[in-house]
Structure formats: C-alpha cells, structure tokens
Amino acid sequence: MTVSGDFIPEENLEGGGSNPVVFGMEITPNVGGVLLAVLGVGAAAYLFFNLVQPAWQEYQQLKASVEEKEIQVEQQQANIKKIEDANAALAQAQQEKASVMAMFGDDSAIDTLALDINRQVEASRATLKNFSPESGGSKVVTDPSFGEGVQGKLKALNVNLQMEGSFNQLQSVMRNIERLQPVILTPEFTAQVDPATQKIVLNSQGRVISQPEPKLNTTLNLKVLTPLSQEELAEQAAAAQPAPAQ
C-alpha cells in the first residue's frame, strides 16, 4: 500500500520541546519572563540597600549638618548684633555720664569759689558777710542721695554763706550762683529782716515817706559738688580690689 505526502516523525508531532530545563522545570517564555522580573526586582532591591540607601542616608546627614551650621551662623550673627548694640549703648551711656560729670566742674572751681561768689554778691550790690568752707575739705558722697549713677563718684563740700541785702539783691545773687561751676545746692536757707532797716517814716503832714527796701540777713548752707579726679577713681578702684590670698 502506497501513502502519499510527507512523512512526519512521531516525536515532532508530539511537540518535543526545545526549551531549556532547569531543576527539572522547563523554562518556557512565560516562566522566563517571570524569572527575569523576579531577578530584576531582586537586583533593584540589592542596588537600593547597598548603594542608594547609604547614599541617601549620607545626604540626609550632610543636609542636617548644613542646617545645624546655618543655625549656628544665625545665632552667632544674632550674638554679634547683640554685642554691637550693647557696645553702642555702653558708649552712649559713657558719653551721657561724661556730659553729666562735666556739669560738676572740678577741684579748680572750688579754689576760686569764694572769689566767684563775692563777684556775684558785689554785682548784685549785696554784701558778703561770711564764707566758711567746712573743715576737712570735700568728702566723697557714699549714699545715693544724688542718684545711684554718681554714688561714690562725687565729692561734696559744705560751705556756710552769709549775705546782707534787699530781697531783690539776694534773689539776683542766688540766680547768679546757680550758673556757676561746680554744681551748688542750697538745702538750708534762712533769712531775717534787719530791724534797723524796717521802719516807717512820716512827714509833717502824716504821710508815709518812701524808704529803701529792708535789709535781709541771709544764711545759706551750700553743698558744692565736684567729681572725683581720675587719680582718685583709680585709688578707689584699687582699694576695692580683694586682697590676694596668702
């Protein structure tokens, strides 16, 4: 019996595979795709944990370090600004202090005080009866009676001053004394009318004849303030230093 057509081997008809077999499992295209996907995920995970994650952590650490340095720089700049403001305030305070202290004059003003007051009395046509500074000279003001800012930095000299003159004359003297250097305070003031100048005179018609103003005998206890010299301040500071330990 004759069979026409091509002869097809049996193994080809059964689809004998040409796909590789691994561990007894045939690697078909679908299985290969899955395996490649799994390998890709594993490789990506490996790269992430071994390369990307350490680099990211290092980046975060560097970023935190930079932010910390920036905060430190800002704090330093703020501290510098505070120091500059404090120095400016200190300079202004020192300038104001110097201006205030300059108002008090110096010891040379004490030396000419009697002459200066006598000139003011004569210019007002009053009479200077007595000018007596307190024995012992000026003394350092240790209480805050003139303000805590000048405590221990001023000297005070008590002076007893006696004058005679009319009310207007004595008022003129007081105003002129206020303009002198050093600063002069008048915590105590007494005035008495001279009885010999307080009288009423009538003419022949019984009318009051105008008389000169009555004379006032005035006593002033002046307090003359002057600042300590630089030498006195240095001695004061040295005396305030604690004694060295033995």
CB 163 within 8 A of CB 170: yes
Q: Within 10 A of 187 (CB to CB), how many other CB atoms are there? A: 10
CB 154 within 8 A of CB 182: no
CB 186 within 8 A of CB 235: no
Q: What's the CATH code, domain 107-230?
A: 3.30.70.60
Predicted structure pTM score: 0.54
**Phi, psi dihedrals of residue 220, rounded to the nearest 5°:** -120, 135
- pLDDT tens per residue across all 246 residues of the chain: 444 444 445 444 444 456 666 555 555 666 556 666 666 666 666 666 676 667 777 778 888 888 888 888 888 888 888 888 888 888 887 777 666 666 666 677 778 888 899 999 999 999 999 999 988 888 888 888 877 777 788 888 899 999 999 999 999 998 888 888 778 888 888 988 887 776 666 667 767 666 677 889 999 998 888 888 878 778 877 877 776 665
CB 182 within 8 A of CB 132: no
Amino acid at residue number 28: T
* Per-residue CA distances from 107 to 96, 110, 141, 156 (Å): 21, 5, 15, 11
E strands, the chain, in order: 21-22, 25-26, 127-133, 139-140, 154-165, 183-193, 201-202, 208-209, 216-227
Contacts of 149 (CB under 8 A, 6+ apart): 97, 100
The whole-number pLDDT of residue 132 equals 92
Question: Residue ranges of the domains in the chain?
Answer: 21-102, 107-230
